[in-house]
Chain A
Amino acid sequence: MLRTTLRLALASWAASVALAQGPVQVVEAKWVMASDAAHPNSMVKAAVVAKVSAGYHINDHKPTLDYLIPTELKLEPLKQVEVEDVTYPKGVLKKFAFSDTPLSVYEGRLVVGSVLQVGRAMAPGAYTLKGKFSYQACNDHACLPPASVPLTLTLKVVPPNVPLKPENSDVFERAQVE
């Protein structure tokens, strides 16, 4: 009993030290493209690369339990650009003190892929796509409120005769597909 109390007290302390830093941002996210530009009437890969701070996890896009808040990428519509696919990675099953059931969660680095369809009539130029990466993070003993990271992607459209340069190959080669 004493050992349990001490262990939980120490765990609470660890949680509180982690939480006591003021408003806590535990997820960073950025939007990247597979090439430096896109042609009209073409498809281009884009991905959100997110990083979850050590000690924390966020829920799978399809959470194990229905009361958990899912991780989601929400994109604002832009004329002439269609989001064809949003692909979430597989979560990792982990057992936590607060749940009898192992939960599917994301930890560390994760990549959420998407495919953008650029419209036929899209004129060359720079366009801004907006979105947000929504999540709800916990550690072993406490949870932070639901939060989101605002995202901005500059989509450069060039004429079909302009060659495209591949970019962020490390992201797109490693991205998992559900």
Chain B
Amino acid sequence: MDDPLVGQVPEPEGAGQGGQAPQAPPPPQSPGVSRSKVAAGAVLALALVAGLYVANRYWIKPAVKIQAEGSKEHPAAPDFSLTDISGNKLNLSDYKGKVVMLDFWATWCGPCRIEIPGFVELQNHYANQGFTIVGVSMDDSPEPVVEFYRQFHMNYPVAMGDARLEELYGGIIGLPTTFLIGRDGRIYAKHEGATDVSVFEDEIKQLLALAPDKEAANFQREGYRARGDQIELGDPAEIDSEVPGVNLTKLTAERKETFKKLLAGQQCPCGCKLTLLKCRQVDRQCAISRKAAREQLEKMMAKQEASTGL
């Protein structure tokens, strides 16, 4: 009996009937054909690159620029951390996602005081829609603020402000000064002086209607400031500098110390009888020492550039 496994060789696929040999693979194409394909590919690639350039230049970049300008118009509200008059920590970042009305005021300021009852009503009316007021008192001490808070039945957090916070918010010249901050953390309006509560209410309603992840390009600001005006904020590099008001970030640690020694060796021209360095440190508002210190920095930087041959 034949072994069923012996002598059985499987036939290759495609083998023709009658036992024809399998076909050889087709020969490679001639070089002329592949060159034209390569050339076509190169042209296509070039066209693609050109197209991308044009799209970027005339479509994408302008769109990004508009968005950037929108950001300049509505800058991010600088975060801060204070202690409220009840002794609790108050961080602006805790209110992200809410519409915040940040009000700089003082108990000795008549125009500030008349706004407060209207603010209490706004807080009552809109708090459950994601709105809050944060008061920053510029009084010298908390005692009169605590008394006022009780007397006027204030219903929103109030903290004691300081010079640094004033500078962060672009310099608070007069009181009241009130900022409207959207859910996205951007400043949409700044009001200087007593303002009718209806003006604030209109702006608050606009901001409450917006989603937190979108800048409101069409926010209609009530009052005097035309659309497109920028809200100026302080430069943290100047505010937090070892020489307040002077940006030292371009200096090495060694040059910084040299600069501070230079200022410590000069009398402040404002008449305070302090050194320029001391005046900057104890009186951040002194415009004379700020100007003098900045001029000294410019001179030092110019000397440095001249000596390095730049």
Contact = CB atoms under 8 A, between A and B. Distances in A.
Contacts of B194: 8, 12, 15, 97-98, 141-142
Nearest to A12: B193
Interface residues of B, number: 30
Interface string B103-141: 000111111111000000000000000000000001000
Interface centre among B113, B193, B196, B198 (most CB of A within 10 A): B193
B222 A5 contact: yes
B288 to A, nearest CB: 10
B224 A19 contact: no
Interface in B147-180: 171, 173-176
A150 B271 contact: yes
A155 to B, nearest CB: 19
Given A13-B223, A16-B224, A150-B271, A141 B171 contact: no
Contact of B223 (A12, A23, A68, A140): A12
A138 interface: yes
Contacts of A13: 223-224
Interface in A129-148: 136, 138, 140-146
Contacts of A146: 108
B191 interface: yes
Given A5-B198, A144-B175, A150-B271, 8 more contacts: A8-B199, A9-B223, A68-B110, A98-B111, A138-B111, A142-B192, A143-B109, A144-B174
Given A9-B199, A68-B108, A145-B175, A16 B193 contact: yes
Nearest to B176: A142
B48 interface: no
Contacts of B287: 22-23
Interface of A: 1, 4-5, 8-13, 15-16, 19-24, 65, 67-69, 96-99, 103, 136, 138, 140-146, 150
Contact of A11 (B106, B144, B193, B271): B193
A24 B199 contact: no
Contacts of A97: 111, 114, 194
B285 interface: yes
A8 to B, nearest CB: 4
A138 B110 CA distance: 9
Nearest to A11: B193
Grouping DSSP codes into helix (H, G, I), strand (E, B) and loop, the A interface class, with mixed when no group exceeds half, is loop
A12 B195 contact: yes
B286 to A, nearest CB: 9
Contacts of B271: 150
Interface of B: 106-114, 138, 144, 171, 173-176, 191-196, 198-199, 222-224, 271, 285, 287
A142 B108 contact: no
Given A12-B223, A16-B224, A20-B173, A141 B109 contact: no
B110 A96 contact: yes
A142 B175 contact: yes
Contact of B111 (A65, A68, A136, A142): A142
Contacts of B112: 143
Interface centre among A10, A13, A21, A143 (most CB of B within 10 A): A143
B182 to A, nearest CB: 21
A143 B110 contact: yes
B111 A67 contact: no
B67 to A, nearest CB: 28
A5 B199 contact: yes
A103 B222 CA distance: 30
A140 B112 CA distance: 11
Nearest to A145: B138
B193 A142 contact: yes
